[in-house]
Structure 1
Amino acid sequence: MPQMIFVNLPVKDLAKSMDFFKALGFSFNPQFTDETAACMVISDTIFAMLLTHEKFAGFAPKPITDTNQSVEVLIALSRDNREAVDAIVKAALAAGGSTFSEPQDHGFMYGHAFRDPDGHVWEVMWMDPAAVQAQ
């Protein structure tokens, strides 16, 4: 069985968060989704568990980070090309997200970032496969 990752994120309004990510093209696994949690499918082995604050608090003994005051994590996702990076950021902004940083073009790598409605930062990037193979 391949190794998987489940990123757990606290959300204030589960339905609103699900609607936001559905607008970006993500789906949810109904087997692990209820009124307190939603399992967002990022890939076959990567998932984001969107948890109500109450549910999240049951797993974390420390207070939930105020994302208006600080950044708790940078979640980086790859895309197949620059256009796909721009497309998901554009969709995020249209769905109620906000810009976290301006696009960064390093030639062999291109990235842009947005904040979801709960302030979690999603960095989206593309890297030229030829540049990776040259390493």
Structure 2
Amino acid sequence: MTVGRTLAPVTVSLPVADRMAAYTFYRDGLGLAAVGKLAEDGVPEPLRFVVNDGLRLMLIPADGFDWVTGDHTVAAPGHSECVLAVPVGAEREVDEMIARAVRAGARTVSEPDHRPWGYAGAFADPDGHLWLIQAEQDAGGERAD
């Protein structure tokens, strides 16, 4: 059996209205580490964060997406093209991560709660991008708590 190649790290790019505000939110609200050479404003350019070993997050001024998207427009305010799901170890970590994000400027979209598939909640970052935070489950579908 042949296994496909691994593409790592993958970078998810999101449009943002204000580079400095986005930098502050992801640094303080999610505790992510920015990587790269600092620009004159003290923020890395390009603005990238390490999410984990296989994923990077790049935040691009909304008007900087034109050359990539061509005739495909980004989602209008209030609409989402994707949900970024982040597993954490325990239910309390779901609560803590969402609370930290809200203190840094996020808006709670779905309060943390028990769902048929596990414990999770969601928030929208200051630019409206949706993040789902969920407690990891073991292979049998049980919560990791």
Query: 1 CA distance for matches of 2:94 and 2:134?
Result: 6
The percentage of counterpart residues that share the same residue type is 26
Structure 1 gaps, min length 5: none
Q: Structure 2 residue aligned with 1:42, among 3, 26, 51?
A: 51
Alpha-carbon shift at residue 124 of structure 1 (Å): 0.5
DSSP-derived class of the 1:88 partner: helix
Q: Structure 2 residue aligned with 1:66, among 76, 83, 90?
A: 76
Segments of 4+ in structure 1 off by > 6 A? none
Query: 2 CA distance for matches of 1:81 and 1:107?
Result: 16
Alpha-carbon shift at residue 63 of structure 1 (Å): 2.1
Question: TM-score, with normalisation over the residues of structure 1?
Answer: 0.86
Alpha-carbon shift at residue 128 of structure 1 (Å): 2.7
Query: 2 CA distance for matches of 1:131 and 1:103?
Result: 22
Report the counterpart of residue 131 of structure 2 in structure 1: 122
Report the counterpart of residue 93 of structure 2 in structure 1: 84
Query: 1 CA distance for matches of 2:15 and 2:117?
Result: 34
Could you tell which deviates more after superposition, 73-82 or 97-106? 97-106
The one-letter code of the counterpart of 1:6 is T
Higher helix share: 1
Report the counterpart of residue 20 of structure 1 in structure 2: 25
Query: 1 CA distance for matches of 2:23 and 2:106?
Result: 13
Report the counterpart of residue 112 of structure 1 in structure 2: 121
Q: How many residues align?
A: 130
Report the counterpart of residue 8 of structure 1 in structure 2: 13
Q: CA RMSD in A?
A: 2.1
Report the counterpart of residue 104 of structure 2 in structure 1: 95
Question: TM-score, with normalisation over the residues of structure 2?
Answer: 0.80
Query: 2 CA distance for matches of 1:53 and 1:6?
Result: 17
Structure 2 gaps, min length 5: 39-43
Report the counterpart of residue 41 of structure 2 in structure 1: none
Contact 2:94/2:112 (CA < 8 Å) preserved in 1?
A: no
Q: Which has the larger radius of gyration?
A: 2
The one-letter code of the counterpart of 1:9 is L
